Amino acid sequence: MQYQCVESQAMIDSKRMSCFTIAIIEIAGALLVLMALVFNSVKTTKLGKTYDELNLTASDYTILIDIEARHRIEFDQLYEKQKM
């Protein structure tokens, strides 16, 4: 037993319009999600830079030590022994 489905052209056009509308909504939703991800990434990067500028860490400082030549030679000799 077979059953044949017969639809009018108006019904087919209505279904096509519904599919088109749903496709547009899906694409718009995907674009909004992508835009939100990009915005979040940019905002997080800016907040990270601001946080780094407002907080002092050890990497913000440089230590300058004036070492005498004889101490430098002694250090180099010790370091060379340990390196081997």
- Asked if the model's pLDDT at residue 18 lies above 90, the reply is yes
Please give the Cα distance from 36 to 26 (Å, whole number): 15
The per-residue pLDDT for 83 is 62
Please give the Cα distance from 41 to 47 (Å, whole number): 10
3-state helix, strand, coil in the chain (%, to 5): 75, 0, 25
Residue 18 structure tokens: 């519904």
Domain limits, the chain:
9-83
With bands split at pLDDT 50, 70 and 90, how would you rate the model's confidence at 82?
A: low
Please give the Cα distance from 81 to 76 (Å, whole number): 9
DSSP state of 66: -
Summarised one tens digit per residue, pLDDT across range 44-67 is 999 988 988 888 887 778 888 887
